[in-house]
Amino acid sequence: MFYGYKIDGFMKEIRVAIAGVGNCASSLVQGISYYKDAGANDEPVPGLMHNSFGGYKISDIKFVAAFDVDKRKVGVDLSQAIFEKPNCTTVFCKSVPHQNVTVKKGPVLDGIAEHMKDYPADRTFLVDEKQKPVDVAAELKKAKAEVLVNYVPVGSEDAANFYATAALEAGCAFINCMPVFIASNADWEKKFRQKNLPIIGDDVKSQLGATITHRTLAKLFSDRGIKITGTYQLNVGGNSDFLNMLEHERLISKKISKTESVQSQLPTPMEADKIHIGPSDYVPWLNDQKICFLRIEGKKFGDVPLNLEMRLSVEDSPNSAGVAVDAIRAAKLALDRKVGGAITSVSAYLMKHPPIQYPDTVAKQMVEEFIKGERKK
């Protein structure tokens, strides 16, 4: 069966709203400007599946609304807000044009960890209580937003649920880039399916990051008949996300997301005390650089031991921006085709904690089939 949807003559723009104008949002917005001239037949853009994803180019993405709680970002144009503190990611596109999108204040809820108030202003979030939150659903409708991308901080379960609800009320597709389980939660998924709205999630993967590397190596060990006896992934970084995650209670869903992503590649899940994955510490001078220390121990033929150790250093936020671009274009395709609920193929390939885990090679092929209209979800 063919599930594709063709638009005669031209492709419409993709109207995108952002919740949380942090480092990841900065890299995404910069990237849209940086690659604005990338055509379907030009040299492939690093980090995208295709320059033209189901007919949509990167230049078809248009930002129409944005929400944050930091007083330095609220009330200014998105093109300026992405460079305000505490954002500290690499500026690879200095000439981001004026977006004609004023960042509006969203509700704080649980979006700021209590301990962050004790850190310098350029490292933490600053909230002006005189600035009142807007009606987010109404703003989404007013802006005619089609896709809402959720970038609120790790551990912000109430805030994530709030923006998911706003997307439902406003009739938007929802892309959950952070590790609160919405797309992978049956009750939430049903809500989007009943509204015939697409949802993609949860917890965006990196182009090449710690977890995608860890799960690939774990599968390699398994495919080569190595019994893994123990493994860890320790991550340090210096952005506001790592500062936020010093509160370990906010890490619960993040650790689950990363651990299940690796466990899903093994024929038999490892015992809980034999696998440790998660952010480990905050090192301010690293800024948006994330360093991963990874170790896998195992036994080969004759029960002879072996181990692998690896260090990976990446600029954290640009690492997921291309993945978000593909997720946005996939959400728009689902809207065009009037397909609601979790888009399982796209979630499996682009997210760490999808509703259904698949090996990356399988998930990629599923997405290719989705793009071509050969697969509904």
Domain ranges within the chain, ordered by starting residue = 14-206+318-372, 210-315
* 89 closest CA partner among 254, 287, 247, 274: 287
Confidence at residue 12, expressed as pLDDT on a 0 to 100 scale:
85
In CATH, what class is 210-315?
alpha beta
DSSP sequence for 155-194: T-HHHHHHHHHHHHHHT-EEEE-SSS-STTSHHHHHHHHH
Confidence at residue 77, expressed as pLDDT on a 0 to 100 scale:
98
Confidence at residue 11, expressed as pLDDT on a 0 to 100 scale:
56
Q: Where would I find the beta strands (DSSP E) of the chain?
A: 14-19, 61-68, 104-105, 147-150, 173-176, 198-201, 227-237, 275-282, 289-299, 305-315, 341-342
d(CA 51, CA 57): 6
d(CA 159, CA 180): 10
The whole-model pTM stands at 0.95
Could you list the pLDDT tens digit for every one of the 377 residues in the chain?
A: 556 554 444 458 999 999 999 999 999 999 999 999 999 999 999 999 999 999 999 999 999 999 999 999 999 999 999 999 999 999 999 999 999 999 999 999 999 999 999 999 999 999 999 999 999 999 999 999 999 999 999 999 999 999 999 999 999 999 999 999 999 999 999 999 999 999 999 999 999 999 999 999 999 999 999 999 999 999 999 999 999 999 988 888 889 999 999 999 999 999 999 999 987 899 999 999 999 999 999 999 999 999 999 999 999 999 999 999 999 999 999 999 999 999 999 999 999 999 999 999 999 999 999 999 999 99
Confidence at residue 361, expressed as pLDDT on a 0 to 100 scale:
94
- What is the architecture of the domain spanning 14-206+318-372? 3-Layer(aba) Sandwich (3.40)
Confidence at residue 9, expressed as pLDDT on a 0 to 100 scale:
41
